[in-house]
C-alpha cells in the first residue's frame, strides 16, 4: 500500500452523475480550482449505465411541474435546486455535450433519452469532458474517513490520504451495491455530524402472496395500483403491472413501492395492502357497462370467454378462478353474488403486502442525509465547513422516469458552485 498526501481545492467523493456534474460545475464557477474525483470502482457512472435499460434516461419533461415528482416533505428543497439548474439547463447541457435527445412517446411519462439510446457512449463523453477540463480522476480509491482540521479536509482512503479545502459528497445510495454505491457514504456523512434518515430500497418489486399472481405468473397488464397504508389510501399509479411468483413488479409497482418500503422496512409496521384495478381511469359505471355488454353478448359461453380480448385467455381464466366462479359457469347464468365477486376482482383486487424485494432489485434509495441539515440554496452542510452534498446520498428520491438522474445532475451543478454558508 502506498501512503501519500495530495492537495486539491476540491475533492469529490464518488463519480456518479452527481459527482461528474459537480466537477464540471466547479470548473465553470471556479476555473482556477484544482479538482479531483475519487471513486471506489474502476469506472465512473456505473449506475447511470444501467438506467433506462442501458439507454440512459437523462431527464423528464415533467421535471418542474407542480406537485413535484419527488417523495419529500419539503418541496422547497427540491424546487430551490431545479430553479438554479432545471429541465432546460439539463437539456442544454447534453446538447452542448453533443448528445441529441428525444422524448419517448411509447408512454406519456415524458422520459428523455439520448438519440443513440446508449448510456455508455454518453458516460464516456462525460469522462472525456472531465479530462478536457483537467479534472483528475482516481479509480479504485475507497474513502473510509473524513477529518476536518482548521483549513483542510483530510480524506482517508484504502490507498493513502488526500487533502482538500472543499468536499463534495456524491457517494450515492445503496441499491445495486456491486455498482459502487454501497451505503458507505452514509457512514462518512454521519461521521461529519449529519443525521441519516434510515435508507430503504425503493422503485422495487413487492412481496404479496396472492392467488391472482399465482395464476397470472408471467403476465403483464396496464393497471391502476394503489398503496394502502394503515387503512389509508397512499399513492396511486397507472402503468404496467407484472405478476410474479412472489407478488408484483413493473413500473406501476415501482411508483408506489416507496410507501411500502418506508412502512415495512423503516417503520417496521405490517399493515400495508395493495389495491389493483384492471380498468385504470374508468368509473365503476363504465366498467359495469363494459362487463354487462360482454356477458349478454356471449350469454351462452363460459364467463372467462366473455373476457377474452379484454384479457388474454390466461388472465381471463385467472380472474374467474380468483372470483371463485366454476369453470363451466355460463355468462348468462351468473348470479348477483358471483357478479359482485367478479366485479370486485376486476376493479379492486386487494392483497396484503408483506415485504419488498432487496437492495439488488430496487432502483433508488429513499432516505439518506437529512435535508434540514443542508442549505437548500447551496447544498452546503449546516454542520461542517466547506462540505457539500449532491445526488442520491441526500434524502431525496423521485418517481421512475428520469427524476432521480435529474436530481443528480441538478444538485451536482448547485453543489459545485461552492457557495459557503457555514
Ligand atoms: C437498475 C437501475 C436503473 C435505474 N434507472 C434509472 C432511470 O431510468 N432513471 C433515473 O432517473 N434513475 C435511474 N436509476 C437511478 C440513478 O441511476 C441514480 O439515482 C443516480 O445514479 C444517482 O447518482 P449519484 O451520482 O448520486 O450516485 P451513483 O450513481 O450511485 O454514484 C455514486 C458513486 O460514488 C462511488 N462511491 C460510493 N461510496 C464511495 C466511497 N466510500 N469511496 C469512493 N467512492 C464511493 C460509487 O462507486 C459511485 O461511482 C437507476 C438505478 C438503478 C440501480
pLDDT interval class at 150 (50, 70, 90): confident
- Residue 97 CA to residue 339 CA, distance in Å, equals 59
User: What is residue 106's predicted lDDT score, i.e. its pLDDT?
Assistant: 79
- Examine the pLDDT at 73 and tell me if it is beyond 90: no
Q: Alpha-carbon Rg of the chain, whole angstroms?
A: 25
Q: Nearest residue CA, atom 35 of ligand 1?
A: 14
Q: E strands along 279-357, which residues?
A: 349-353, 355-356
Q: Is residue 422 predicted with pLDDT exceeding 90? A: no
- What whole-number percentage of the chain has pLDDT above 70? 98
Average pLDDT over residues 314-321: 97
pLDDT level of residue 107 (50, 70, 90 thresholds): confident
| CA-392 nearest atom, ligand 1 | 26
Ligand 1, pocket-test mutation among 94, 143, 180, 202, most atoms within 8 A of CB: 180
**Residue whose C-alpha is closest to residue 252's, from 279, 223, 217, 280:** 223
Q: For 282-307, write each residue's pLDDT tens digit.
A: 999 999 999 999 999 999 999 999 99
Geometric angle at alpha carbon 90, from 87 and 94, rounded to 5°: 140
Q: Is the pLDDT of residue 4 over 60?
A: no
Average pLDDT of span 256-265: 97
Give the number of the atom of ligand 1 that is nearest the alpha carbon of residue 404: 11
Q: Is the CB of 404 under 6 A from ligand 1?
A: yes
pLDDT value at position 340?
98
pLDDT at 74: 84
pTM of the model: 0.95
* Index of the ligand 1 atom closest to the CA of residue 397: 19
Question: Is residue 247 over pLDDT 90?
Answer: yes
Atom of ligand 1 at shortest distance to CA of 51?
Answer: 5
Angle at 150 between CA 145 and CA 151, to 5 degrees: 85
Q: 5 burial class (0-12, 13-18, 19+ CB within 10 angstroms)?
A: exposed
Report d(CA 287, CA 296) in Å as an integer: 14
What is the arithmetic mean of pLDDT over 338-358?
A: 98
What are 182-205's pLDDT values in tens digits?
999 999 999 999 999 999 999 999
Q: Which domains does the chain have, with CATH numbers?
A: 5-200+363-415 (3.50.50.60), 205-357 (no CATH)
- Decide which of 2 and 190 is more confident: 190
Mutate to test the pocket of ligand 1, among 405, 415, 416 (most ligand atoms within 8 A of CB): 405
- Is the Cα torsion angle 317, 320, 323, 324 positive or negative in sign? negative
- The mean pLDDT of 230-236, rounded to a whole number, is 96
Any ligand 1 atom below 6 A from CB of 40: yes
**325-351 mean pLDDT:** 97
How large a percentage of the chain has pLDDT more than 90?
93
317 C-beta closer than 6 A to ligand 1: no
pLDDT band at 403 (very low <50, low <70, confident <90, very high): very high
- Give the residue-averaged pLDDT of 156-169: 96
Ligand 1 site-directed mutation target among 13, 22, 47, 72, most atoms within 8 Å of CB: 47
Looking at every residue in the chain, the average pLDDT score rounds to 96
Is 70 exceeded by the pLDDT of residue 13?
yes
Q: How confident is the model at residue 1 (pLDDT cuts 50, 70, 90)?
A: very low
Amino acid at each position: 500500500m502506498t501512503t501519500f498526501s495530495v492537495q486539491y481545492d476540491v475533492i469529490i467523493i464518488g463519480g456518479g452523475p452527481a459527482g461528474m456534474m459537480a466537477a464540471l460545475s466547479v470548473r465553470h464557477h471556479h476555473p482556477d480550482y484544482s479538482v479531483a474525483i475519487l471513486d471506489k470502482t474502476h469506472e465512473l457512472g456505473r449506475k447511470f449505465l444501467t438506467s433506462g435499460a442501458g439507454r440512459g434516461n437523462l431527464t423528464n419533461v415533467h421535471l418542474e411541474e407542480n406537485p413535484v415528482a419527488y417523495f419529500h416533505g419539503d418541496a422547497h428543497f427540491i424546487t430551490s435546486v431545479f430553479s438554479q439548474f432545471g429541465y432546460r439547463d439539463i437539456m442544454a447541457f447534453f446538447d452542448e455535450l453533443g448528445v441529441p435527445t428525444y422524448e419517448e412517446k411509447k408512454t406519456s411519462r415524458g422520459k428523455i433519452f439520448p438519440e443513440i439510446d446508449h448510456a455508455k457512449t454518453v458516460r464516456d463523453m462525460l469522462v472525456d469532458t472531465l479530462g478536457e477540463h483537467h479534472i483528475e480522476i482516481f479509480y479504485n480509491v475507497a474513502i473510509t474517513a473524513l477529518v476536518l482540521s482548521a483549513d483542510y479536509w483530510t480524506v482517508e482512503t484504502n490507498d493513502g490520504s488526500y487533502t482538500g479545502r472543499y468536499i463534495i459528497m456524491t457517494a450515492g445510495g445503496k441499491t445495486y451495491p456491486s455498482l459502487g454505491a454501497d451505503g458507505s457514504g452514509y457512514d462518512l456523512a454521519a461521521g461529519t455530524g449529519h443525521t441519516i434518515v434510515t435508507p430503504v430500497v425503493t422503485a422495487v418489486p413487492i412481496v404479496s402472496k396472492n392467488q391472482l399472481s399465482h395464476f397470472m405468473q408471467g403476465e403483464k397488464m396496464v393497471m391502476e395500483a394503489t398503496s394502502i397504508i394503515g387503512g389509508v389510501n397512499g399513492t396511486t399509479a397507472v402503468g404496467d403491472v407484472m405478476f410474479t411468483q412472489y407478488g408484483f413488479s413493473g413500473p406501476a409497482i415501482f411508483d408506489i413501492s416507496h410507501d411500502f418500503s418506508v412502512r415495512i422496512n423503516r417503520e417496521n409496521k405490517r399493515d400495508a395492502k395493495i389495491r389493483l384495478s384492471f380498468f385504470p381511469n374508468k368509473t365503476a359505471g363504465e366498467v359495469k357497462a363494459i362487463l354487462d355488454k360482454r356477458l349478454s353478448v356471449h350469454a351462452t359461453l363460459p364467463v372467462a370467454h366473455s373476457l377474452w380480448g379484454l384479457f388474454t385467455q390466461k388472465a381471463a381464466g385467472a380472474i374467474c378462478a380468483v372470483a371463485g366462479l366454476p369453470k363451466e359457469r355460463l355468462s348468462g347464468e351468473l348470479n348477483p353474488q358471483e357478479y359482485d365477486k367478479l366485479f370486485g376482482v376486476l376493479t379492486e383486487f386487494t392483497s396484503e403486502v408483506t415485504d419488498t424485494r432487496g437492495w439488488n432489485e430496487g432502483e433508488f434509495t429513499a432516505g439518506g442525509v437529512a435535508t434540514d441539515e443542508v442549505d437548500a440554496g447551496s447544498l452546503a452542510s449546516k454542520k461542517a465547513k466547506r462540505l457539500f452534498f449532491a445526488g442520491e446520498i441526500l434524502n431525496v428520491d423521485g418517481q421512475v422516469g428520469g427524476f432521480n438522474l435529474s436530481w443528480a445532475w441538478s444538485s451536482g451543478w448547485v453543489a459545485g458552485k461552492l457557495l459557503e454558508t457555514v
